Amino acid sequence: MGNCWSRENDLAEAAARRNAVVVREGGIPAIRAALAARRRGPQRAPTKVPTTIRFDADVLTALKLTGKGWQTRVNDAMREWIKDHSPDGTGTHR
């Protein structure tokens, strides 16, 4: 069994490289410090609600490959869709 090329493998590999933390020296403490530095602090004024949504694997991979901020872009797209599809055009449903 050899390596099998596929678009999914390429996309997964690209995502892994994008999310990699490279630490050349310092061992485990340096890795922990690098990972901690990447974490985001708490929101000052929480405006978003955590939820779970299911996407097809290829859709999620494509979204993530658009880079940092992909969740914000999905949120903006959903907001636009709601606005365009609400009965009164305001984006609210009553």
pLDDT tens-place string over residues 30-88:
777 777 776 667 777 778 888 999 999 999 999 999 999 999 999 999 999 999 998 87
| Torsional sign, CA 61, 63, 64, 67 | positive
Looking at residue 8, what is its pLDDT?
Answer: 73
Q: Where is 28: in which H helix or E strand?
A: helix 27-38
Looking at residue 1, what is its pLDDT?
Answer: 47
Is the pLDDT at 93 greater than 60, yes or no?
no
Looking at residue 86, what is its pLDDT?
Answer: 85
- DSSP secondary structure letter of residue 89: S
Is the pLDDT at 10 greater than 90, yes or no?
no
b/e for 39-61, b at 16 or more Cβ within 10 A?
A: eeeeeeeeeeeeeeeeeeeeebb
